[in-house]
């Protein structure tokens, strides 16, 4: 938790413009894509972890983390699931004399343990980047000896502001070393790739089967369901379907530029977006009738379930905080439920993510970038949503406030949440979180309950509890009519183009 001693503290001043409230008029976006402020205690991960986030599902590869064993331990678990990683486990003497020899030894050992692996990823970490190990040339040298591509993923933790830079580095590695290596033979009329789906609770399989019902063949799902053969042939498709714009946009645009493959932005969260996406794909590929058939069958199957859950969820208030993936899509899915979003935030959203979010939420909604636990605590305390959706880190915080919690988007959530049946799963999870019987018995701290007569009003937003600071009303960002640089300390303002 941030212990800010005074409203004039540097952290307080840096953080203020990262929170905005949507008001009518021009767009007000939170300050984003910046390094976290010292003292903020950010919940972001490093670029190395971002690369692991992308590449971990490629289980036919060997993954070697070149650095201290702590980095490998950190990168071994992704989205709540443990993956096999090898580590060079550097020690002090390797930092002094170089870790190249250890890397060569680890490459040989790992290949002996997994002889059938088709390719190897070697991840740089902070320490090996700082000492200047020439990982790239070692990888190139070892390729001949090991007989498979040895791909250097240049992702030291300090590269970029957050894990988002690691996502791009990972896709660059695939693009430069693997994609396009397979022969560009005949391209099927209905061959597609999906970009930006990570198979959380089997979501990739749901999407694949939905598209297969329309007669579409999915070649490769980056990276939820991808293997060596799929990746090297990923340039042999007619269309790319971009599911997560924040993480997948780079690859979709690069494939369009390099191979002329068009891409469509689609999302399968909530029935309205699923229907719109299937129609869009159908229209592009000339499969309109097939799309209508899949929509009719899918919606009919979940209608009785929706009639059970939706009336009870209408008018409920939700709060969201997770990476950056699919924020606007999730808000639209909640809209299908009749559930309003009171605040939403992400750890590493960029201007595009926040602009899309801003266009989706209702006036009055707060949008926060790179929130610390302290920030979330304030927002939960002030806005009191009925349900909070976030990663596993936020679960206990939410429960301490007596607010139902819904895990998203991680392996242990009750998903898959995509497609028609997925929306029913999602509605059921939100319903269970909101109406869990435990909330009837939970005794809340009078100071944290908005309904308590004894509750002391909070003095300010990024609050300081010292007596010297005067109270500030809970208006985190003020829109100055007709003036740019909105936000008390200048958030980002842009006109909708």
Task: State the residues that interact with ligand SF4 by CB under 6 A.
Answer: 46, 48, 67, 71, 74, 125-126, 156-157
Shortest distance, position 71 Cβ to ligand SF4, whole Å = 3
Whose Cβ is closer to ligand SF4: residue 162's or residue 274's?
A: 162
CA 183 to chain centre: 33
Give the Cα separation of 360 and 303 in Å (integer). Answer: 25
Whose Cβ is closer to ligand SF4: residue 74's or residue 268's?
A: 74
Shortest distance, position 69 Cβ to ligand SF4, whole Å = 10
Shortest distance, position 126 Cβ to ligand SF4, whole Å = 3
CB neighbours (10 Å) of residue 5?
13
Shortest distance, position 296 Cβ to ligand SF4, whole Å = 48
Give the Cα separation of 22 and 365 in Å (integer). Answer: 5
Whose Cβ is closer to ligand SF4: residue 157's or residue 476's?
A: 157
Give the Cα separation of 360 and 362 in Å (integer). Answer: 7
Whose Cβ is closer to ligand SF4: residue 162's or residue 329's?
A: 162
Whose Cβ is closer to ligand SF4: residue 125's or residue 365's?
A: 125
Shortest distance, position 311 Cβ to ligand SF4, whole Å = 47
At how many degrees (to 10) do helices 100-113 and 135-146 cross? Answer: 30
Say whether the peptide bond before residue 409 is cis (omega within 30 degrees of 0). yes
Whose Cβ is closer to ligand SF4: residue 129's or residue 306's?
A: 129
Give the Cα separation of 234 and 206 in Å (integer). Answer: 20
Whose Cβ is closer to ligand SF4: residue 71's or residue 341's?
A: 71
Q: Which residue is nearest to ligand SF4 (CB)?
A: 157
Give the Cα separation of 233 and 218 in Å (integer). Answer: 11
CB neighbours (10 Å) of residue 404?
23
Residues 39 and 6 sit within 8 Å (Cβ to Cβ): no
Pair type for strands 317-322 and 387-390 = parallel
Give the Cα separation of 353 and 209 in Å (integer). Answer: 28
Shortest distance, position 40 Cβ to ligand SF4, whole Å = 16
Whose Cβ is closer to ligand SF4: residue 73's or residue 97's?
A: 73
CA 405 to chain centre: 18
Give the Cα separation of 97 and 133 in Å (integer). Answer: 10
Shortest distance, position 74 Cβ to ligand SF4, whole Å = 5
Shortest distance, position 87 Cβ to ligand SF4, whole Å = 11
CB neighbours (10 Å) of residue 26?
15
| Nearest partner of 165 among 33, 50, 66, 36, judged by Cα | 50
Shortest distance, position 68 Cβ to ligand SF4, whole Å = 7
Whose Cβ is closer to ligand SF4: residue 43's or residue 125's?
A: 125
Whose Cβ is closer to ligand SF4: residue 163's or residue 493's?
A: 163
Residues 416 and 271 sit within 8 Å (Cβ to Cβ): no
Shortest distance, position 204 Cβ to ligand SF4, whole Å = 27
Burial level of 77, CB count in 10 A (0-12/13-18/19+)? middle
Shortest distance, position 12 Cβ to ligand SF4, whole Å = 25
Residues 277 and 268 sit within 8 Å (Cβ to Cβ): yes
Whose Cβ is closer to ligand SF4: residue 50's or residue 271's?
A: 50
Burial level of 335, CB count in 10 A (0-12/13-18/19+)? middle
Whose Cβ is closer to ligand SF4: residue 156's or residue 491's?
A: 156
**487 Ramachandran zone, left/alpha/beta (phi>0; psi -120 to 50):** left
Give the Cα separation of 366 and 28 in Å (integer). Answer: 11
Shortest distance, position 227 Cβ to ligand SF4, whole Å = 26
């Amino acid at each position: 938790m941030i212990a800010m001693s005074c409203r004039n503290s540097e952290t307080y001043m840096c953080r203020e413009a990262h929170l905005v409230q949507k008001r009518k008029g021009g767009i007000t976006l939170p300050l984003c894509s910046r390094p976290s402020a010292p003292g903020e205690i950010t919940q972001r991960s490093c670029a190395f972890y971002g690369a692991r986030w992308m590449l971990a599902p490629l289980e036919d590869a060997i993954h070697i983390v070149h650095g201290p064993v702590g980095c490998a331990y950190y990168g071994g678990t992704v989205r709540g699931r443990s993956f096999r990683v090898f580590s060079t486990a550097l020690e002090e003497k390797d930092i002094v004399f170089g870790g190249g020899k250890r890397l060569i030894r680890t490459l040989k050992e790992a290949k002996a343990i997994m002889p059938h692996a088709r390719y190897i990823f070697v991840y740089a970490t902070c320490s090996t980047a700082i000492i200047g190990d020439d990982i790239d040339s070692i990888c190139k040298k070892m390729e001949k000896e090991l007989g498979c591509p040895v791909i250097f993923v240049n992702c030291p933790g300090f590269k970029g502001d957050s894990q988002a830079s690691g996502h791009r580095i990972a896709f660059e590695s695939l693009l430069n070393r693997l994609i396009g290596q397979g022969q560009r033979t005949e391209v099927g009329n209905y061959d597609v790739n999906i970009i930006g789906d990570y198979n959380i609770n089997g979501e990739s399989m749901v999407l694949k089967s939905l598209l297969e019902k329309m007669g579409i063949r999915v070649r490769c799902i980056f990276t939820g369901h991808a293997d060596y053969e799929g990746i090297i042939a990923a340039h042999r498709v007619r269309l790319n379907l971009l599911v997560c714009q924040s993480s997948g946009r780079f690859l979709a645009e690069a494939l369009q530029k390099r191979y002329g493959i068009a891409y469509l932005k689609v999302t399968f969260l909530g029935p309205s977006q699923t229907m719109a996406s299937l129609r869009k794909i159908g229209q592009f590929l000339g499969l309109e009738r097939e799309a209508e058939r899949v929509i009719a069958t899918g919606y009919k199957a979940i209608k009785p379930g929706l009639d059970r859950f939706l009336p009870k969820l209408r008018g409920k208030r939700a709060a969201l905080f997770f990476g950056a993936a699919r924020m606007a899509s999730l808000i639209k899915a909640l809209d299908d439920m009749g559930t309003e979003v009171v605040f939403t935030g992400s750890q590493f959203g960029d201007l595009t993510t926040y602009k899309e979010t801003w266009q989706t939420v209702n006036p009055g909604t707060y949008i926060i970038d790179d929130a610390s636990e302290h920030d979330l605590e304030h927002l939960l305390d002030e806005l009191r949503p009925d349900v909070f959706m976030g990663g596993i880190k936020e679960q206990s915080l939410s429960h301490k406030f007596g607010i139902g919690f819904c895990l998203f988007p991680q392996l242990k959530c009750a998903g898959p949440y995509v497609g028609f049946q997925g929306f029913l799963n999602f509605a059921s999870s939100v319903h269970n979180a909101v109406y869990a019987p435990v909330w009837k018995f939970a005794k809340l701290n009078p100071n944290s309950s908005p309904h308590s007569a004894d509750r002391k009003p909070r003095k300010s937003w990024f609050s300081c509890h010292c007596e010297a600071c005067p109270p500030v009303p809970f208006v985190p960002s003020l829109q100055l009519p007709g003036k740019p640089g909105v936000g008390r300390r200048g958030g980002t303002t842009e006109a909708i183009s």
